[in-house]
Amino acid sequence: MPELPEVETTRRGIAPHVEGREITEVIVRQPRLRVPVPDDLVDRLIGARIGTLDRRAKYLLVPLEGEKGSLLWHLGMSGSLRVARVGELPKKHDHVDLVLDDGAVLRYHDPRRFGFVDWLAGDVEHDPRLARLGPEPLSEAFDGARLFELSRRRRMAVKPFLMDNAVVVGVGNIYAAEALFLAGIDPRRAAGRISRERYDRLAAAVREVLAAAITQGGTTLRDFVSGTGEPGYFAQRLNVYGRDGEPCRRCGAELRLVTLGQRASVFCGECQT
């Protein structure tokens, strides 16, 4: 599933090509996505000009200038947004096109159709899908103090705690595993039994891992490509995720695999305590 770095990479990749452009045509080839494409979406969009793109957690926000509303795009399990050109033939799973006034096409591709594009009127933060989200991990609102405060008396393991979107958004399975490795914290440890000092290190590790992934263009997943059609390359730098049974890059011990919160988690029993 595309996680926060993949969505941020997409936003940065497509923004220069779509911001300020007028939508001249909307083509919906498959309206039956996870959330059906709104019936009035075409009428709302044609003639509108795209504002400054934003991102909230794993949602991409596409505001329209002069309109009290935005497109809310979620890439689901296998979706991607890329910039094509008028005349470029769509692929089998290219479901939605926004044709722009300079001949560019913002094209949504989603083989599994678990993503969606929806219309949000008014303040996007009031939408129930966004209203209860925690802070962005790269913002000043996220730090070790927040993790420490929210974790008190929590018996759940620290890894699923870190992946809770009410605690902090966008720290999915890959990046939680990598951040816990950098911070030297065993993912099985109870969240409520970790010190403030260790949470400070974990918050710093989350920021470091996510910033590096964004710089590298996201993690290479089977279906993910950036807004310019390029795959991510952060997977080349993964320390633990997907490497169970391999030697730890730091100490050489064999990496171990456990299941936490129904998700596979790889860690080093020597470096993470």
Query: What domain range is 160 assigned to?
Result: 144-267
Residues 100 and 160 occupy one common structural domain: no
pLDDT at position 229, please? Answer: 55
Q: How confident is the model at residue 234 (pLDDT cuts 50, 70, 90)?
A: low
Residue 138 lies in a domain: no
The answer on pLDDT for 30 being more than 50 is yes
pLDDT tens-digit readout, 257-269: 999 999 999 999 9
Q: How confident is the model at residue 222 (pLDDT cuts 50, 70, 90)?
A: very low
pLDDT tens-digit readout, 8-19: 999 999 999 999
Instruction: Measure the CA–CA gap between 128 and 11, rounded to whole angstroms.
Output: 22
Residue 272 lies in a domain: no
Three-class secondary structure assignment of 98-163:
EEECCCEEEEEECCCCCCEEEEEECCHHHCHHHHCCCCCCCCCCCCHHHHHHHHCCCCCEHHHHHC
pLDDT tens-digit readout, 102-132: 999 999 999 999 999 999 987 777 888 898 9
**Token code pair at residue 8:** 């941020």
Residue 139 lies in a domain: no
Residue 83 lies in a domain: yes
pLDDT tens-digit readout, 131-164: 899 999 999 999 999 999 999 999 999 999 999 9
Residue 137 lies in a domain: no
Q: How confident is the model at residue 230 (pLDDT cuts 50, 70, 90)?
A: low
pLDDT at position 3, please? Answer: 84
The answer on pLDDT for 225 being more than 50 is no
Residues in the chain, overall count: 273
**Token code pair at residue 199:** 């949470």
Domain boundary among 76, 109, 131: 131
Mean pLDDT of 195-207: 98
Residues 11 and 127 occupy one common structural domain: yes
Residues 21 and 111 occupy one common structural domain: yes
Residues 184 and 82 occupy one common structural domain: no
Residues 111 and 175 occupy one common structural domain: no
The answer on pLDDT for 226 being more than 60 is no
Residues 164 and 214 occupy one common structural domain: yes
User: What proportions of the chain, in percent to the nearest 5, are helix, strand and coil?
Assistant: 30, 25, 50
Residue 122 lies in a domain: yes
Residues 173 and 57 occupy one common structural domain: no
Residues 245 and 154 occupy one common structural domain: yes
Domain boundary among 90, 107, 131: 131
Q: pTM of the predicted model, to two decimals? A: 0.86
Residue 136 lies in a domain: no
Question: Taking all residues of the chain, what is their mean pLDDT, rounded to a whole number?
Answer: 91
- Structural domains of the chain, count: 2
pLDDT at position 220, please? Answer: 44
Residues 149 and 183 occupy one common structural domain: yes
Residue 150 lies in a domain: yes
Domain boundary among 75, 105, 131: 131
List, by residue number, the catalytic residues: 2-3, 58, 263
- What is the amino acid identity at position 94? D
Residues 178 and 232 occupy one common structural domain: yes
**Token code pair at residue 213:** 């992934």
- What is the amino acid identity at position 119? W
The answer on pLDDT for 67 being more than 90 is no
Residue numbers in the known binding site are 93, 112, 154
Out of 2-6, 45-49, 87-91, 194-198, pick the least confident. 2-6
CATH, residue 179: 1.10.8.50
Percent of the chain having pLDDT more than 90?
Answer: 81
CATH, residue 17: 3.20.190.10
Report the 10 Å Cβ neighbour count for 86.
13
Radius of gyration in angstroms for the set of CA atoms belonging to the chain, rounded to a whole number: 20
Residues 62 and 148 occupy one common structural domain: no
Residue numbers in the known binding site for DNA are 93, 112, 154
Residues 52 and 114 occupy one common structural domain: yes
